[in-house]
Structure 1
Amino acid sequence: MFFFGNDFWLGSKVLCSEITASGPMAAAFHLVRFTVKLDPAFTPYDRDMSLGVCLPAACSAADIQSLLETTTARTDSKHRMSLLRVRAIPGPYSLASDPKFHIMGSVVILVALMMIIGTIYEAVLERRQKLCRLRRSNNNESGVKPADKISFDKDDLTESETDLVNSVDPCRGLGLVSEVVLSFSILSNGRKILDCGPAGKDSLTCVHGLRFLSLAWVIMVHTYLQIFAIAENKKMRTLTEENFMFQTVANATFSVDSFFFISGLLVAYLYFKSQNKGEQSLRTPRTPKPLAVEAKSMTMKFLTLLGYRFIRLTPAYLFVLGCAELAMKWLKNNSVFEPISLDNVNCAKYWWRNALYINSLYPRSEMCMLWSWYLANDTQFYAIGVLLLLISSRFFRVAVSSLFMLLISSTITTALISYSIKHVVSVQEPFKFFDELYDKPWMRLGPYIAGIMAGWFVHRTKCSVKMSMLVNVSGWAVALSTLMFLVYGVRDANFGVTGTAMYISLGHTAWGAALAWIVIACTSGYGGWINSLLSCKLLQPLSRLAYCAYLVHPVIMVLTSFQMEGSLHINNNLCMILYFGNLVASFLLSFVISIAFEAPVVRLLKVCVTPMMEKQNSS
């Protein structure tokens, strides 16, 4: 197994502890990390090994290091063994004495109390509402004329109807404090998340399927990385990479492009949709305002929309960030493995970069929650997109020109960087140039712009594009061929440096353009079974949970794998079982996080901020 890639010779930490429990003397478990170099035919590169040793507790880490250094001193330059470090497991870290653990615990307790209070309060209100309806029904039967036969659902009442009900009926309207308390109710929040009812007439239902499938793809890739990190037969990875379908894992960078496309699509579509409603609500034609007044109004709208997004996303984000930091601290102290992640250090030092959504602008070695680079990029794109959309209401051509200039600049920049570092795309090293070509915003802007354009087009055509059979078939053929080529056209392509630069610079935008066709075709009635699949009602709850699932799934993976006592044996069947387990566990935990942190914040924003935004829009 050494020659098949096993770098973990860990013994048994659990059995070592059993010696202490049942044996004549206390024992302690230590992990030794060392580098081995044999004949080049056996070890073409230095191997970092992990050795678990169980010795009497009187032997300290320094004692073990002295013993091993005596052994390694006898090796020559051709066959050498270099000691790296010795550490006791568990180490000195104590989760219970960490102040951040107590802060996180206090937050959880406070939110749990609010959820309990809100749930009980809503249950009481629902019972009261039933009694009110029953009294109204009895009054109708006895000949007492009701004020109006209206629903007591506050969302369905107009302002005049609400005043009328409050004046003649004991079922009073809810005040601000009641709305705040109800924002934490598990009953209504859970119903909204799990609702599979019919969508609105102008809803882009196919987005639910695209979002869920993209996240499922991301989790699959991370599952393989999870297994590769603790595999005892690493040579099998080389064989696995030769499989044609492994490109699904190696080229999964496009799964995140789907998220960027969806974000741009919804931002543009909902913006123009709200603008259209605002114009229809005005009785008189809009008169142009002075440029200074218009600029001030745009600035306020921009800051309001940016603040709205920040408040909506950040609570769940920072909660998971705290969990990730504590989890990594615990693992570094207790695991027989050594995770390469530095969340235990970086999250404490650089959490503010995550909170400001600028962490993707820094090197990978300084990142906290490495996978959160997507959120930083998406927020930066949102700021650019909203700014251009606001400008488009007054200077449409300027906004469109700026959009195309950004797209061209992103494409050229990506090509130049790829060419300058002599990058050649390969299945074996998809993350080789992470800092240079993977996570930076100027590399990923293309699909977001494609989404903005698609959102404008779908709104402009009112989801009713007419096309011939030839155009329909040709469009689907080009779109699906593009998607398939980008994912499965790399293995034997031998692009070279120039070809790779073109593939990297144009591929992300091409992916977004192909998805744009899918959305346009599905919303216009030309999606067929693909639209039926993407618009399946059962995918709606999973789509709503996608944000929290994306945040939490890597934390689940590291806690699952690195707390194990031994390594895993790579096998495709095992990989798939672990994948489905990660998928289910991620969505189950995301439901808890969403119902505790995301859904209450969304409702609080609707109660406190939305009226202000509506007033601002109407003015």
Structure 2
Amino acid sequence: MSDTSHTQTYPSLNGIRVLSLLWIISGHTSQLASVFNLDNSFEWKSRVLEKPIYFYTLSGPVYLGVDSFFFLSGFLGAKTFLNMSEDSGNEVTMGMVVKYIYRRLKRIQPLHLASIPLSIALISLVRWGVFWELPKHQWDSCKHVWWANVLLITNFVSVSDSCTGWAWYLSNDFHFHLTIPLLIFLYVKAKRVMIAAVTMLFIASALATTLLSYFLKLSIRYPRGESQSRMNYWVEYYTKPYCRYGPFLVGIVIAIMLAKNRYIKNKAQAVAGWLCALLIMFLVICLAFVLDDTPASYSIASAIYQGVHRTVWAAAIALILVLCHEGYGGHLNTMLSCAVWNVLSKISYACYLAHPVIIILYCGLQETLFHYQDINMFYLFIGHSVLTFTTGLALTVMVERPFQRLLC
């Protein structure tokens, strides 16, 4: 499913997408290095996980860049289905739904499924160092749970036992896209019912996440407690669709809102909008350091934060998108709409699939422990990013695009 027409209409989407991807690569660079082979892990924990200045990696809320991706996916998916509905005279038919789902599968599955044997073939040829156990376990799992990737249900398989653990995002994303036709149908036929349905979905997602967080005492930052607590974080909360639907739903709502109207009428409203967006982002990051999420004194405020902060973050990104689209983005819109982002955004999906393999491969090849320093992590991030975009370009040209043409 091509997003070209939408990104031409909303060029700032390209910058948001690529910067979110770089944020995720930065987080995985730090996270996977710490899991594999740091010789000073206590220093890494005390600096990277505790200080707000390291929010660009793993400090504060975990992987907000993923929620930006969910927002963009919901926004672009809803825009696509709205266009299909308008072309059919504001009707939603079963044929349209089937076509939309097929196009979504055609967009994500060929490269997703092709990346698994390619990764296994690459890793099987590598002479591993002493830190090979974790990557070996990751790929051995593919022998047993490959079917979860085919069926796009990896979000219901334990992260520790999954084949390509990062594929949970694709499963959630596909499940979320199944809700778009229903919500657009309600929008076309009964707007008040749609508003009620959207409200209930927001409440249900926030409530489910809040209750899970409170009863399991889930950390609101990168989990560092005992092993069961860490596993609960990744398995029961982080990868589950009912906990991650909020940002995607924000994208759907914004797509519908921008279909007909303009919302920023003057500079005063634009200034207020920018202040709100920046304040929301500031609070989402800073509250993670203020609220007490230790198991012994876990508060309801921490659970509520966990339940809503990702959706609130997506709302701030949505506000920035609206401001840029309606001509009040200023220099930030110029930066986000830069032509270089357009090129990189076209290979961003392949980059998302490739970057964990590159990082795992690098870590698994090491024969000595890695010493954490900011400059070392920065060099790793630069190297992983360059290799990721190079590999992403190759996968897009040699795998993704040919499959897209074959399945047309």
Q: TM-score, normalised by structure 1?
A: 0.60
The 4+ residue runs of structure 1 with deviation greater than 6 A are 199-202
- Confirm whether residue 221 of structure 1 aligns to residue 16 of structure 2: no
Structure 2 partner of 1:435? 235
Give the CA deviation at 1:226.
Answer: 2.8
Structure 2 partner of 1:478? 276
Measured in 1, the distance between the counterparts of 2:234 and 2:7 equals: 42
Give the CA deviation at 1:203.
Answer: 0.9
1:418-497 alignment to 2 at 5 Å?
Answer: 418-427=213-222, 429=224, 432=230, 433-461=233-261, 464-494=262-292, 496-497=298-299
Q: Residue 324 of structure 1 contacts residue 343 of structure 1 at CA under 8 Å; is this kept in 2?
A: no
Q: Residue 427 of structure 1 contacts residue 490 of structure 1 at CA under 8 Å; is this kept in 2?
A: no
Measured in 2, the distance between the counterparts of 1:230 and 1:384 equals: 42
1:508-587 alignment to 2 at 5 Å?
Answer: 508-587=310-389
Measured in 1, the distance between the counterparts of 2:270 and 2:312 equals: 18
Matching residue's letter, 2:183: L
Give the CA deviation at 1:484.
Answer: 2.0
Give the CA deviation at 1:536.
Answer: 0.8
Matching residue's letter, 1:536: C
Which SS does the other structure have where 1:489 is aligned?
helix
Q: Residue 208 of structure 1 contacts residue 540 of structure 1 at CA under 8 Å; is this kept in 2?
A: yes
1:352-363 alignment to 2 at 5 Å?
Answer: 352-363=147-158
- Cα 1:200–1:481, aligned 2, differ >3 Å: closer, same or farther? closer
1:126-525 alignment to 2 at 5 Å?
Answer: 203-228=9-34, 229-240=36-47, 241-248=49-56, 249-250=58-59, 251-279=61-89, 298-327=93-122, 334-341=128-135, 342-427=137-222, 429=224, 432=230, 433-461=233-261, 464-494=262-292, 496-525=298-327
Alpha-carbon RMSD: 2.5
More helix by share: 2
Between 550-559 and 395-404, report the one with greater CA deviation: 395-404
- Cα 1:321–1:239, aligned 2, differ >3 Å: closer, same or farther? same
Give the CA deviation at 1:429.
Answer: 2.9
Measured in 2, the distance between the counterparts of 1:313 and 1:362 equals: 19
Q: TM-score, normalised by structure 2?
A: 0.89
- Cα 1:529–1:562, aligned 2, differ >3 Å: closer, same or farther? same
Q: Residue 424 of structure 1 contacts residue 497 of structure 1 at CA under 8 Å; is this kept in 2?
A: no
Structure 2 partner of 1:166? none
Measured in 2, the distance between the counterparts of 1:346 and 1:509 equals: 32
Give the CA deviation at 1:349.
Answer: 1.2
Q: Residue 328 of structure 1 contacts residue 343 of structure 1 at CA under 8 Å; is this kept in 2?
A: no
Superposed CA deviations along residues 395-451 of structure 1, whole A, max 9, x for unmatched, are 443333222222111111111111111234345639921112211000000001100
Superposed CA deviations along residues 365-391 of structure 1, whole A, max 9, x for unmatched, are 331111111111001001112332244
Q: Residue 358 of structure 2 contacts residue 384 of structure 2 at CA under 8 Å; is this kept in 1?
A: yes
Give the CA deviation at 1:354.
Answer: 0.9
> Which one of the candidate residues 400, 404, 408 is aligned to 1:602?
404
Identity of aligned residues (%): 28
- Cα 1:562–1:278, aligned 2, differ >3 Å: closer, same or farther? same
More strand by share: 1
Measured in 1, the distance between the counterparts of 2:102 and 2:249 equals: 22
Give aligned pairs, total.
393
Which SS does the other structure have where 2:289 is aligned?
coil
Unaligned stretches of 5+ residues in structure 1:
1-191, 280-285, 287-293, 609-619
Which SS does the other structure have where 1:520 is aligned?
helix
Measured in 1, the distance between the counterparts of 2:301 and 2:182 equals: 34
Q: Residue 324 of structure 2 contacts residue 330 of structure 2 at CA under 8 Å; is this kept in 1?
A: yes
Which SS does the other structure have where 1:579 is aligned?
helix
Matching residue's letter, 2:250: A
Measured in 2, the distance between the counterparts of 1:429 and 1:451 equals: 32
Larger Rg: 1
Matching residue's letter, 2:273: G
Unaligned stretches of 5+ residues in structure 2:
none
Matching residue's letter, 1:490: A
Q: Work out which structure has the larger RCO, using CA pairs closer than 8 Å and 6 or more positions apart in sequence.
A: 2
- Cα 1:349–1:501, aligned 2, differ >3 Å: closer, same or farther? same
